[in-house]
Amino acid sequence: MRYFHRTLFTVFVIIFSISVNAETVARVMKSNGEVMVKPIGSRSFNKAAKPGLAISNGDAMRVGESGFAVVIFIDDRSVVKVRENTEFQFIETSNTRTLEIDQGTILNNINKENRTKNFRVETPVSVASVKGTEFAAIVDPAGIDNFVGKSGNFDVTNQITGQTVNVGPGQKAISNAMGNLMQAPAAPGDYPEDPETDFQEEPEEEIEEEEEAEEEVEEGEEPSEEEEIEEEEFEEEEAEEPSDEKVEDPEEPKAEAEKKTDVPDKPFDLGLGVGSVTIDNALYNQLALRPEFNLLGGKLGIGLDLAIYIDNEGNIREDEWDEASDYIDKFLFIRWGNKEDPFWVKWGSLDNVTLGYGGLLSGYSNMMEFPSIRRVGINTGVNFGQIGTEIFLANIKDFTRGGTLMGLRASYKVSKRFPLKIGANFIMDMNQFSGMSDKDEDTYPDIFDDFPNDATLWNDTDGDGFPDPHTGIADSLVDIDANGNNIVDANETDLGLKGTPFSIEDNKASVTGYAFDIGYPLVNTKSFKLDLYTEFNFLNIPEAGTQDTTGTSTFYREAKSGSGFSIPGLRASIFNFLNISFEYRMKSGYYVPQFFDQSYDITRVTQTFVDDQAYIFTKDMLLFADSTMKEDLTGFYGSLGADLFGFGSITGAYANMTSETDTVKSFTAAINVNAEKIPKLSEAMMYYQRNNDSNPFDFANPSINTVFGYRLGYAVSAGVSLIWDFKQFYRDDGTGTLEPVKQTTIETAFTF
């Protein structure tokens, strides 16, 4: 009931604010760094908060990394100083003045004189009520609030339990999302430092002159052309039923929502990588510089990969720098904006790509085999009004080899008042063979090519190092005894030589998926969100290859298809620190959830040898070779993500699908540690994935579906870290035995 009242109060305030024409309540006195304002009625922070800027009722302010702002209220001259990484909204009624803060730190100097309204600082967890005092509010998005008193007294109420404590000078109150509230003495250093120690309050005369000038414009002067344009834009946005708060898409997992807006903290990062990597089955030592630039307030990001690879004999691998296309590969990524912007794009490395609710494409990464294999992907989208679009290409290089993994999504939200969202996905791997290694680019994959480094040669039947005769080959290179029977070929009529090898140009194996989903936010408040959805998925795998055993093809796949249905699907977020999802799933035929997953590029095509004969199998062929995967299965899927009160986060997902006789399970987990809480630790994370397996917890016996790794950083000094990056997955060695593929990199990272 308390949350309902709070939501009702917020709606009332917004309506009231619009009705009073967004009156000016305060002005920006000082700002430094990235300080942006989202005017009431606007969907984004689009106005720079320069000194003198008028703050209207309903406006929101965001202060970025290394920024600060000072705001003064016009009526009573109360001052609010805002530290970095803070976001809050100004809300006023006839009786109250509220700063509704989502995260960050504000220092408040509230005057008793000339003030006619109660002053409040409200967070998703707590409310601080002030009559006249100087205090600080520190709000952690994990659901922990700290209020520290400097002078005067104020009350703090935990909104979960309703418990209230009084805080005086030199005291603090700690309130959290579990309903706990306590008052304690403030320790030295608890009160945040003033973001601008040299700050001097603007003379009242100067502010009064600005107000008088503003009144003159209001009374007699015609508005400027710019003001007219701004007014027209506001009216257009109002007609589109804007929302002051961003309503999260119900199909978007919370973890993904957090990742999409991730922007590196610093404008320039430099990584120096030293370690071993495997490229084309050869071991190299690497020396790599990986600078990252974050420009235009983090809007534009550029990452480079400037690497040199040295073999055991000290020779530099020249293949990395000898072609014009190699220099394109030196761009690790280029990005613009994020998914909530009207236009956004990321080119290059892609990580954790999910379309819709993830029934087909979930957590895909084109970086699993980096740097041995470099893929250049594109993920972009456009949002206009109630319509959203997204395009995904895993590797544009594959278009020269028959096509790549691609995805399209379109969604439509009915209205703000009725936020039902309808979405559709189309996902297709245009040619699964395009991911096969073909170093000389002669269209014959290396597994079928006896001369994988020479585009003019491909067959050597007797294995003596001399090529079989074929059109275009020089006579001096021709093997005169190509079949190796010690008889000159000129004296034989039937040599029994190899036929034309398997060619990517002549063979294609595609997979197509369709998905349709509907989602509706049942509850959408700052403290609690609950989304209801359903999703239908269809997977179609057409026939490929030939059944003619006398032909040259070593590949044949029967046509198959299947579908999956998730109903109901529920996703909940509690105080932004606990995220839970649940789905009841039904699958029939040849379908598995998350067919295109994080490790898809690894399992896309499996290459093996049987009796010295090369064979290839697409992912679906091996996956559905298990009779269990062909059966109709029902079961559940659940995920859990938790913020460990600022010390880190943990995520995990588990699926259990059963038939009358069999069971299929999946498990993923990841742990991230907040390095700021642990001395000398700059970063720490680890992950594990094993999908569509009989026992994903059998860690001693991994499968081809197993992927795990970790990344640890040790802070050598300020701005310098030593980072250990490890990743491991498994491939068939050609005999049916799995061999581990390990990738280890040691980097020295410099942050400026």
Confidence band of 273 (pLDDT split at 50, 70, 90): low
> What pLDDT is recorded for position 527?
80
Radius of gyration of the chain (CA): 31
d(Cα 636, Cα 607) in Å, to the nearest integer? 33
With a cut of 70, say whether residue 749 has pLDDT above it: no
Confidence of residue 535 (pLDDT cuts 50, 70, 90): very high
Q: Which conformational region is residue 147 in: left (phi greater than 0), alpha (psi within -120 to 50 degrees), or beta?
A: beta
pLDDT score of 339: 84
- Give the number of other CB atoms < 10 A from CB of residue 239: 8
pLDDT at 341: 85
Q: Which long-range contacts (CB under 8 A, 24 or more apart) does 740-745 make?
A: 740/702, 741/278, 743/277, 743/278, 743/369, 743/372, 744/275, 744/276, 745/273, 745/274, 745/275, 745/276, 745/277, 745/286
Asked whether the beta carbons of 667 and 690 are under 8 A apart, the reply is yes
Strands (E), 674-719: 681-693, 706-717
The pLDDT score that the predictor gives to residue 733 is 65
As given in the structure block, the two tokens for residue 466 are 């001399």
Q: What is the pLDDT of residue 481?
A: 75
Neighbours of 463 (CB within 10 A): 9
**How far apart are alpha carbons 151 and 128 in whole angstroms?**
14
Q: How far apart are CA 729 and CA 702, in angstroms?
A: 9
User: In whole numbers, what is the pLDDT of the chain averaged over residues?
Assistant: 79
Nearest to 58 by CA among 113, 9, 104, 21: 21
Looking at residue 233, its pLDDT comes to 40
Residue 101: strand pairing partners: 88
Closest CA to 664 of 701, 638, 613, 626: 626
Tens of pLDDT, residues 225-245:
444 434 444 344 333 433 333
pLDDT tens column, 400-424: 888 899 999 999 999 888 899 999 9
Model pLDDT for residues 8-25, shown as the tens digit of each residue:
444 444 434 444 445 788
CA angle 660, 664, 665 (to 5 degrees): 135
Share of residues in the chain with pLDDT > 70 (%)? 79
What is the spatial distance between Cα 97 and Cα 92, in angstroms, rounded to a whole number?
A: 5
Pairing mode of beta strands 118-122, 96-109? parallel
pLDDT (average), residues 533-540: 96
Q: What is the largest CA-CA distance in the chain?
A: 113
Split at pLDDT 50, 70, 90, the class of 139 is: very high
Whether 237 and 33 have beta carbons less than 8 Å apart is answered as: no
- Residue 515 contacts residue 494 (beta carbons within 8 Å): no
User: Which two structure tokens, joined as six digits, stand for 237?
Assistant: 């946005």
Q: What is the dihedral of CA 14, 15, 21, 27, to 10 degrees?
A: -20
Query: For residue 85, how many other CB atoms are within 10 A of its CB?
Result: 16
- Asked whether the predicted pLDDT for residue 337 surpasses 90, the reply is no
The pLDDT of residue 297: 72
Is it the case that residue 252 has pLDDT exceeding 50? Answer: no
Task: Find the mean pLDDT for residues 614-619.
Answer: 82
Are the beta carbons of 85 and 61 closer than 8 angstroms? Answer: no
Using the Cα atoms of residue 674, residue 726, residue 254 and residue 638 in order, give the sign of their dihedral: negative
Condensed to tens digits (0 to 9), the pLDDT of residues 687-734 reads 898 887 888 898 888 887 788 888 888 887 777 778 888 888 787 665
Structure letter (DSSP) for residue 398: G
Cβ neighbours, 10 Å, residue 641: 20
Give me 536's structure tokens: 């239908």
Query: 307-341 b/e with 16+ CB inside 10 Å = b?
Result: bebeeeeeeebeebeeeeeeeebeebbbbebebbb
170-217 pLDDT per residue, tens: 999 999 887 888 988 888 888 988 876 544 444 444 444 444 444 444
pTM: 0.63
pLDDT value for 752: 55
